[in-house]
Structure 1
Amino acid sequence: MKLCRYGQDGAEKPGLLDGEGRLRDLSSHCSDLTAEMLSPEGLRRLTAVDPAGLPVVDGNPRFGIPFTGTSKYVCIGLNYSDHAEEAGLAVPSEPIIFLKAVSAMCGPDEPTIQPLGSTKLDWEVELGVVIGTKAQCVSEADALSHVAGYCLLNDVSERAFQMQSSQWDKGKGCDTFGPVGPWLVTADEVADPQALCMWLDVNGQRMQDGSTATMIFGVRTLVSYVSRHMTLMPGDIIATGTPPGVGMGQKPEPAFLKVGDVVTLGIEGLGEQTQRVISHPLAVR
């Protein structure tokens, strides 16, 4: 099942995609798609809804974040060995955890605001893991039972900010640095989260072309590992890392985003996103 929220920012309605890819309005069955609805029981209730009986949404509405109630946006750094190599960093012996501010989250096609003072704005296509039930010190064997589904993410990064200290959060949590969606694809529709093709283009040029198969630490391991260090709650997101091809790693010189650039990205079965880089509203003109 592909769940979403659509409509004007702040007034989104719940929706789902039917078997023919048409957007259907779920408002008659729920007022919104909240973190509490991502539990197995909540998803069973939604699965029981016959899409054919729901109104078709015409046109091309804006997609918002697919669900509400995220308390933590957990990121995993350097989780692809070839990305670690292009960054000139050692392959980690255990997952590297950092946090992206929840306030960075936005709809999948919102403009990316270049922060004030930004000089090295970068891109990272990532698989997002969405938690459906509380996970605290769970085993790898049980880890996937806590996953509600998966979504497409762009871990937008400001490298100059990120590399100013050993803590990466400052370069990861700016407004609009967390596009999510367009959909939450429930776990039953993703046969193997370690076998998904992923890609990212900048101004129509392919920059990243990878697969979740080359993760160092897979989804099962990450959910278990993170749950030992912080309790994961329904609606929490784990961003699982990015394959090579980020701007920072381009040869012979790094290539960073500038105002007017358009980033398009996708993951097999999880949809696509498009963001245009715009100036910060307080930037000197």
Structure 2
Amino acid sequence: MAVHVLHYLHQGRPQWGVIADGAITPVPGEFRSTAGFIEANPVERLLVLDGPRIPEPDVQWLSPVTANQQFICQGANYRQHMIESGMDPDVKKFNMIFTKATSCIVPANSHVVKPDAVRFLDYEIELGLVLKRDITSRETVTDENLHEYIAGAVIVNDYSARDIQIPQMQFYKGKSYRTFGPVGPYLCLLEKHDIPKLKELVLTLTVNGTVRQNDTTAGLVYGPAETLTELSGVQNLHTGDLLATGTPSGCALSIPSPLKQRAAAMLPEAEKWRLFLKMQEERPQYLQVGDVVEAQIVSHDRSINLGVQHNVVVEEAA
């Protein structure tokens, strides 16, 4: 049975608790990292947790992934998003990996600050997976043993400054501004029999009440097992680290077709990017100050419900 966990601030103290029916049962102990919480609290123990309950409205949300964990991301990992990003999914045969600065991680109901220098602010709902154990050598992860590596799931919104990310070829910088990584509200810890549901989660993102993104994780191109196998051959991963698995179609970003890209490649560099920025100016989908973005991920049977992120876009403080 899946267990939904909230990291929160109550009476001035950060705590962790199991949430159900709008109330929180605090978990005894202090845990300064997601890793510390996961290592000390197996799902089986949390399932029998008992004690006084706190109404959820009485607490302040914190991110269930703490800033001392790695934040690793997959790019263009849904077929239709590849196409809208100007890629040919039948030609692209590699898993696109990048990172975000952990200083961009904020609670799920935080304001998103639109920097003055950013013109084209985009949204990207993603399923985030939180690691259950360290991986310090090459390992083969399969659907059958995935439960040994994945502790649970969260919502991630990979906010992106497209005018930094694309023309400057700066994924890290364009996606790492402070507040560009809301996580949570809930960390859903999974048992072995829950893992197959990761392939049937429904992702929905709205802007000002209008649906912009709606898809299921069945559309992932590179799944968690394949991705963790690949990453294990590259770097060390640790308990509590976050893997954001990519976003579905429906982003504000508009990229020329492969044919137009080949034509643009013949242009001077400055002209190519002038045309790119002009194309983005024609996209009203980009976020503006005052916009409200909501993101939700649930399983069909609702046994996995990662809550709802609620972000208001605000201007950068003077």
Would you call these one fold, judging by a TM-score over 0.5? yes
Does residue 103 (structure 1) correspond to residue 100 (structure 2)? The answer is no
- Residues 1:156 and 1:10: Cα distance change in structure 2 (over 3 Å): farther
In the alignment, the residues of structure 2 paired with residue 58 and residue 242 of structure 1 have an alpha-carbon distance, to the nearest angstrom, of 29
d(CA) in 2 for partners of 1:78 and 1:270? 22
What does 1:1-285 correspond to in 2, within 5 Å?
Answer: 1-7=3-9, 11-18=13-20, 21-27=21-27, 29-32=28-31, 34=33, 35-39=35-39, 42-44=41-43, 46-47=45-46, 49-51=48-50, 53-57=51-55, 59-68=57-66, 70-91=68-89, 92-136=92-136, 137-141=138-142, 142-188=145-191, 189-249=194-254, 253-254=282-283, 255-268=285-298, 269-282=305-318
Task: After TM superposition, give the deviation of residue 15 of structure 1 in Å.
Answer: 1.6
Distance 1:8 1:93, change over 3 A: farther
**Structure 2 unpaired stretches of 5+:** 256-278, 299-304
CA distance in 1, matches of 2:105, 2:42: 23
**For the aligned residues, what is the CA RMSD?**
2.3
Give deviations 1:7-59, integer Å, cap 9, x for gaps.
279842212113xx2322415x11236312313x63247425423x2323353
TM-score by length of 2: 0.81
Q: Which amino acid aligns with 1:37?
A: F
Within 1, Cα distance between the matches of 2:47 and 2:80?
42
Contact 1:209–1:243 (CA under 8 A) maintained in structure 2: yes
Q: Tell me: CA distance 1:281–1:215, structure 2 relative to 1, closer, same or farther (3 Å).
A: same
Unaligned runs of 5+ in 1: none
Task: Mark the structure with the bigger radius of gyration.
Answer: 2
Q: Is the Cα contact below 8 Å between 1:105 and 1:177 reproduced in 2?
A: yes
Greater CA drift, 109-118 or 57-66: 57-66
Cα distance in 1 for partners of 2:13, 2:106 equals: 14
Letter in 2 for 1:208: Q
**Partners of 1:153 and 1:119 in 2: CA distance:** 22
Q: What is the identity, as a one-letter code, of the residue corresponding to 2:4? A: K
Q: Deviations over 1:136-190 (max 9, x none)?
A: 3221224441111000110011100101333311110000000000011012255
Percent identity among equivalent residues? 28
Work out whether residues 4 and 67 of structure 1, in 8 Å CA contact, stay in contact via their aligned partners in 2.
no
Contact 1:71 1:102 in 2 (8 A): yes
TM-score w.r.t. structure 1 length?
A: 0.89
